[in-house]
Amino acid sequence: MKKILLLSAIIMAAATLTFAGTNGVKSLQGGKGINNGFYLNLGFAFPTMVVKSNGFSSSAQSLGFQPNLEIGNQWYFTKNEKMGFGIKISWLQLGYSSYKVSGYGNLYSNNSTNVDLRLIKVAPQFTLGLNDDMALDFTVEVSPTLMVGGNTESGYNYLYSAAGVLFAPGARFRVKKFAVGVDFGFGSLAYNESRDHQVYYNGYSSTEHVNSSGRASIFSPRIYVGFKF
């Protein structure tokens, strides 16, 4: 957290010093690549999760290959022909993936799903204009996040949810309206799980229900392509 705040402060300070040096007057005329607008991204994430519950920590579990869709806007507070500083807001990022989960020494392996919903992600944005058609954007996002998933396969049914805030530093390269970028989501979410599984004893079986809670550590690198209008 301290590193994120320090990086944000450095970006803000660099932008302030840059624009303060322009005869003490803020220019509102940015290059073509430094302007307000709407963006649409198609992303591909590779999330992993480590659950800490009841004093135990699981191994890192891949949540699969996760396509996601993102829409948002960006606005600049101050800019000139070469640089701009503003805010980027993602109104919605929605991803879905499927993966296999195993347990009890790999005695079972089930297909599971994960839905990743992120609403109103907010990030300070610093833009470096390379020319009228190309620009580099640097952001540090704060992402309210909800993940839900699980499976309903016979004998090992379970559902889980993880909610909280993730952080995601990232960078984006733009050529006219086309954009390609990368970010790295990470953080700790409140985790809850409800699980049913079959228990066998002396030739008889019964269903055992278990509820547990704890923390889920998430790491979710993502690449994306999109358009900025």
CATH number at residue 71: 2.40.160.20
CA distance 18 to 183: 25
The count of structural domains within the chain is 1
Cβ neighbors of 118 (< 8 A, separation 6 or more) are 90, 92, 93, 94, 143, 144, 145, 146, 166
Q: Which one-letter amino acid corresponds to residue 78?
A: T
Q: What's the token pair of residue 84?
A: 């701009």
15: three-class secondary structure by DSSP: helix
CA distance 143 to 4: 13
Instruction: Output the average pLDDT for the chain.
Output: 83
| Whole-number pLDDT of residue 19 | 40
Percent pLDDT > 70 in the chain is: 76
pLDDT at 137 over 70: yes
Asked whether 92 and 118 are in contact (CB, 8 A), the reply is yes
Nearest Cα neighbor of 190 from 206, 174, 212 is: 212
Across residues 192-203, what is the average pLDDT? 73
Nearest Cα neighbor of 198 from 190, 188, 186, 210 is: 210
Q: State phi, psi for 10 to the nearest 5 degrees.
A: -65, -45
Q: What's the token pair of residue 73?
A: 């806007």
Token look-up 């970010």 returns 183
Asked whether 124 and 85 are in contact (CB, 8 A), the reply is yes
Percent pLDDT > 90 in the chain is: 58
Structural domain of 189: 2-228
Per residue in 20-55, pLDDT (tens digit) is 333 333 333 456 679 999 999 999 999 999 999 877
Per-residue buried b or exposed e for 51-83, using 16+ beta carbons within 10 Å of the residue's own CB: beeeeeeeeebebbebebebebebebebbbbbb
| Whole-number pLDDT of residue 109 | 61
Asked whether 222 and 45 are in contact (CB, 8 A), the reply is yes
Per residue in 152-190, pLDDT (tens digit) is 665 567 889 999 999 999 999 999 999 999 999 999 999
CA distance 84 to 175: 16
CA distance 99 to 114: 8
CA distance 229 to 225: 14
